[in-house]
Chain A
Amino acid sequence: MQAVDTRDIWVVAESEGERPKEVTLEALCDAREQADAAHGKVSVMAFGAVSEGLIAQYGRYGAERVLIAAGSDEEARSAERCAGALGGALKDERPRLVLCGATTLGRDIAARVAARARLGLANNCNWVRLRPDGGVEAARLVYGGKLYARVALTSVPAVASLRPGAAGVGKPSPRQPQVVALPPLSQVAARVSYRGFVPADPRTVDIIEADRIVAVGRGIGSRPEALALYEQLADRLGASLASSRPLVDAGWIPFERQVGQTGKVVAPRLYLACGISGASHHTLGMKSAECVVAVNRDKNAEIFKLADLKVAADLEAVVPALLKRLEAQK
């Protein structure tokens, strides 16, 4: 392998409105650390409508340069266009590493760029390191996250994506970034045309896809009127309502919202289990939830084995109190 000179790192940024996504900052901090140790430069590649505020944020966390391929929000969501813009930029300049956040879009962009230009790609990494000799090593999650594949990426540039939540956002390392305008996204040759965006309605989305779920069980009370409180809670949290089996059997909730062995398997980021005992035929349907908050009067309830936040309290008192606080947040 020929000696590799550059120690520069590019970070592909994603943002939500005026704020960079947390994973972008995580990648940026990682890139900054690695580049500092190897005397390289960090550039941020940003797509779409990039405001001064965003540029400042990137600068705050260590970007020396911000490359912008401007465009509309839809164009910025098109992995094809972003990968095209990125690929175009990489023809002129070759950093050692291009680091994305391993979001759906980030992984997509990374794969497209790597495929077109025949670059080495490590998707879904827990860490990516620039070695002193210029090599890039990464540990990516394979087999459903059970195992690491430790890999060496030898192409220049190498492409990698970093799993959200693995690295953490560190301390700022402020810079005044240079802004470079790249050809806009609209100029990228794209075969796929944008047609429209349909936001999910937590009230109607299939619970399999729901981002957040408020789940009710028998512990919420003996009258169907008790449901109204939880519907409010779900609404306030932007969550979908789901249920364990007993309430579906009793006819309070339709079968499409049943979580469990005979119902659906859900994988939301938030699962708020209210009055659910957590028998295995239920937990089978929700054990992949990222954050589980369980509220149950009975400390021996099985659900607590899976809960990140174990609330042993009376639902009738706690839920209205929680609702009040959520209303105040509005």
Chain B
Amino acid sequence: MIGRQILGNIAGWLQVVMYVTTLGSAALAIAVLWRHVAHWRRGRAEGPLLPWQERWPDFVRRALAQRDIGDPDRLAGWMHRMIFWGFVVLFIATTLTAIDHDFGLPILHGPFYLVFAFLSDLFGLFFVIGLGLALYRRYGLRLPQLGYRRPGDGLILALLLLVGLSGFWVEGARIAQTGWPGYERVSFVGWTTALVLSAVVPSGSWSAVHQELWSLHVVFIVGLFAALPFTRLVHMVTTPANILLRARRLGALRPVAAGKPVAELEAFSWKQLLELEACTSCGRCSSVCPATASGKPLSPMLVIQHLREQLQGERHDPQLIANDGPGVIDPNELWSCTTCGACEEICPVAINHIDRIVDLRRVLAEDGALQQPTTRALESMLGKGNPWDHAPSERARWAERLGIRVLREGEPCETIYWVGCAGAFDEQARKITEAVAKLCKRAGVEFGILGPREGCTGDFARRLGEEGLFQTLAERNAAAIRSHQPKRLLTHCPHCLNTFVREYGLEGIEVVHHAAFLEQLVAAGKLPLTRGGVQRVTFHDPCYLGRYNGIYEAPRLALGAIPEVELKEMGRTRQRSFCCGGGGGQVLLNVPIGERIPNLRFAEAEALGVDVIATACPFCKIMLAPVPAERGVEGKIAVKDVAELLAEACV
């Protein structure tokens, strides 16, 4: 009869020992894991979670299909799937075995057993292969992003592997011990193991060998359970929980709590504390971080991990931020961040690094621990409504020359062109403004600008941690905008776009980015693009346009419509675009460490062989435009906005 002998060869006392030790160590593991809950409960309340319609499919994708682990490192993806699904299937198999034995339900019999046996062997093999790959990546290839070691890394991999291997050894011994039943050939790994074992094991001693191997297997399992909660394998619990309980999306920062922000673990939410333990220190975030790439002190993974160490008591720094004394995180780590979102985009377990960094920046800002030139810029934003000390009356100078309508107070206007600070005051960005104005005129689009009554939207202020300044600016601007009852707000700046859409609450007003707007005009035939000129162009996806707001195709379509343009793609493109280095308030900060980030991005474009780097953000242009001259290729490669290129092509 086809079926499985369960514990048949194992002495009664050994079975007792097995039950006691495995259940005991499992209980211990759970108890220790429960202590982690106490860690999380130190945090304050989290806001509402994301809608379940969003969270559950995301959970399936991340936790079950594990798509994110394999993007872009496909080997890692398969490795982890094998380990994960191997473990899951083996766990189910063991559970079914236990149910069969302990509750007397004859599950593992008949045809079902054949399927069961085959699948358990197959997934057991996957499990072992996956673990072999893991050990190879960590200790053979020694991949740099795996450099961060945690207690028991090697031990846990070894134990898992040994559990898997010893499982096969036990199976092989059992097959031999039960007399080589023919149907057990479906357990192909076990059968092969049995054949191998039979080469060394004398035929009479199978019973003893089986029992010994079985005991060894139990020892490994108990060891695994005991070690599990003290190692990164805790992520078995924390990571799926973190994915399922998602509360934040890239784009809007969490609102600030009442009172003065303090740098303490208790100031984070329970979700943020859980997140610290959900991080498996895979290092993907740091591998795509522009600050890390340019040699700045920031490594997003280390920010999370160092906080975890503080939370779990692996380190005991007197304060979270190293201000006048040792601390977990150095202020320069915080100030190096460009908030580009590459870390959050690539993180397989949905960690929100940016919220964390800005939360800590808020502490520094409220404490007044800011330096020049940042303080001057912030004071200028509050007083004059722009970071560069220009009088508001200067904002519309460019418009006077072009005869653009500057709205008077209360004048209704359907389309407001929000010029922004860069577009009004910076030479490079002003060319974008003029190009957009010219194109709108050509297409017969009527619009007005607020002129002196425009103030900085406050994106940089907010990301630098000055929440009060942001609120003041937002209130001022929102009132000014609403007073004209616009239907549409057109902007060429993705930072303005993002903050209008996600952080202002301008109901009933459509906020549109100029690349999308102009592309629509081109598609509708309102902007005939007749003048060409052979140009190899690559589009640099601005972080706040692409990752933050999902706009990738519109600028490409617009560029593609220009005659004779050959559009090439850099390696790091779309969601994986590499930041220009200007976001997160970087334009107003001074962190003079390492290479300049725009130089890195420029080198990538240069290597591609292009004549023009096209951008769709004034700050990308401001950051990248001086680089050709610095590298001595001025005249060979130009940095231009999509609007400028369209304007050049449009007669």
Contact = CB atoms under 8 A, between A and B. Distances in A.
Interface of A: 218, 222, 246, 249-250, 255, 261-263, 279-281, 284, 302
B35 to A, nearest CB: 48
Given A246-B630, A284-B388, A279 B427 contact: yes
Contacts of B389: 284
A263 B373 contact: yes
Contacts of A255: 590, 592
A250 B373 contact: no
Given A261-B373, A262-B590, A280 B427 contact: yes
Contacts of A249: 596, 630
A246 B632 CA distance: 13
Contacts of A261: 373, 377, 388
Interface in B408-428: 425-427
Interface string B355-374: 00000000000000000010
Contacts of B373: 261-263
A250 B627 CA distance: 11
Contact of A222 (B426, B427, B632): B632
Contacts of B425: 280
A222 B388 CA distance: 29
Nearest to B629: A218
B626 interface: yes
B419 to A, nearest CB: 15
Contacts of B626: 246
B388 A250 contact: no
B296 to A, nearest CB: 14
A280 B428 CA distance: 10
A197 B588 CA distance: 38
B168 to A, nearest CB: 60
B394 to A, nearest CB: 10
B590 A280 contact: no
Nearest to A258: B590
Given A249-B596, A261-B377, A281-B388, 6 more contacts: A218-B629, A218-B630, A255-B592, A261-B388, A262-B373, A280-B426
25 contacts: A218-B629, A218-B630, A222-B632, A246-B626, A246-B630, A249-B596, A249-B630, A250-B630, A255-B590, A255-B592, A261-B373, A261-B377, A261-B388, A262-B373, A262-B588, A279-B427, A280-B388, A280-B425, A280-B426, A280-B427, A281-B388, A281-B426, A284-B388, A284-B389, A302-B427
A302 B590 CA distance: 24
B196 to A, nearest CB: 64
Interface in B385-419: 388-389
Interface in B555-592: 588, 590, 592
A218 B627 CA distance: 12
A262 to B, nearest CB: 5
A77 to B, nearest CB: 32
Contacts of A280: 388, 425-427
A222 B425 CA distance: 29
Contacts of B377: 261
A104 B119 CA distance: 92
Contacts of A262: 373, 588, 590
A280 B423 CA distance: 13
Chain A CB within 10 A, most for which of B373, B377, B590, B632: B373
